């Protein structure tokens, strides 16, 4: 069993997380470019060819931005870190830093089911690490300075669980629907809206 020994406040870890998410989002944009020396027709064709890149970029910015915001909310109650909290955070940051790779696969080989499955697995893994952070904080009030969990902490856990479930379910769906299984991700919009209304209704 992993012992919980307090190991300082969260300030440096939050600064590291901000840097990792910022760099990951920056890396997403590095491969978006148009070759030089094109004539008019080639230029417009190159712009059309950028559409998958821009779509994958927009999707991953939303994903990383959402997880960065969620990470800040999770650590809003943290007063002390322990080894497990640090390890889970570093694991999640490692997955976040990896996201530009499956994003590139999605933009260049979006019609391949494997690209969709790899992207879905990466996002699900990132969500799972954040869900584990919530679970650790729920079980260890001393890391919160004895403070009670806010009401929306449980709602955040449900939101993360929904994200993990939808992206995990996409993986076997690629075996049936191929790359079209990525459209299943659109279910997150109404699902998150429903969970948000439910959480507000309980306040």
| Residue range 115-124: mean pLDDT, rounded | 97
Quick check: is 75 in a domain? Answer: yes
**So what's the pLDDT on residue 23?**
96
Quick check: is 6 in a domain? Answer: no
| Residue range 33-51: mean pLDDT, rounded | 83
Cα separation, 106 vs 38, in Å, equals 26
**So what's the pLDDT on residue 30?**
87
Q: Please compute Rg for the chain using Cα positions.
A: 19
| Residue range 2-17: mean pLDDT, rounded | 78
Quick check: is 100 in a domain? Answer: yes
Cα separation, 40 vs 103, in Å, equals 29
Question: For 64, which DSSP code?
Answer: H
Kindly report the backbone phi and psi dihedral angles of residue 202, in degrees, each rounded to the nearest multiple of 5, phi listed first: -85, -10
**So what's the pLDDT on residue 2?**
54
Range of the domain at 100: 11-201
How distant, in Å, are the alpha carbons of 115, 140, 185 from that of 85? Answer: 31, 10, 29
- For a pLDDT cut of 70, what percent of the chain falls above it? 91
**So what's the pLDDT on residue 43?**
86
**So what's the pLDDT on residue 36?**
82
| Of 193 and 66, more confident | 66
Q: Residue 195: CB partners within 8 Å, gap ≥ 6?
A: 155, 158, 159, 162
| Residue range 65-87: mean pLDDT, rounded | 90
Quick check: is 85 in a domain? Answer: yes
Quick check: is 165 in a domain? Answer: yes
- For a pLDDT cut of 90, what percent of the chain falls above it? 56
Quick check: is 110 in a domain? Answer: yes
How many domains are contained in the chain?
Answer: 1
Quick check: is 4 in a domain? Answer: no
**So what's the pLDDT on residue 148?**
67
Quick check: is 183 in a domain? Answer: yes
**pTM for the full predicted model:** 0.89
Q: Is the pLDDT reported for residue 1 higher than 60?
A: no
Q: Is the pLDDT reported for residue 191 higher than 80?
A: yes
- The vertex-180 CA angle with 176 and 182, nearest 5°, equals 105
């Amino acid at each position: 069993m992993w012992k919980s020994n307090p190991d300082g406040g969260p300030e440096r870890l939050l600064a590291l997380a901000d840097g990792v998410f910022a760099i990951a989002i920056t890396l997403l944009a590095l491969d978006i470019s148009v070759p030089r020396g094109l004539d008019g027709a080639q230029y417009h064709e190159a712009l059309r060819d950028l559409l998958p890149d821009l779509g994958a970029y927009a999707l991953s910015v939303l994903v990383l931005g959402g997880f960065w915001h969620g990470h800040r909310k999770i650590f809003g109650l943290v007063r002390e870190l322990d080894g497990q909290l640090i390890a889970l955070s570093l694991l999640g940051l490692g997955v976040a830093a990896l996201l530009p790779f499956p994003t590139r696969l999605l933009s260049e080989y979006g019609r391949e089911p494997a690209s969709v499955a790899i992207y879905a697995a990466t996002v699900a893994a990132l969500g799972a690490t954040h869900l584990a952070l919530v679970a650790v904080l729920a079980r260890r009030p001393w890391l919160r300075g004895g403070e009670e969990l806010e009401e929306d902490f449980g709602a955040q856990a449900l939101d993360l669980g929904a994200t993990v479930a939808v992206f995990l379910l996409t993986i076997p769906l690629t075996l049936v629907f191929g790359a079209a299984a990525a459209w299943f991700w659109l279910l997150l919009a109404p699902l998150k809206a429903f969970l948000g209304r439910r959480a507000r209704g309980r306040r």
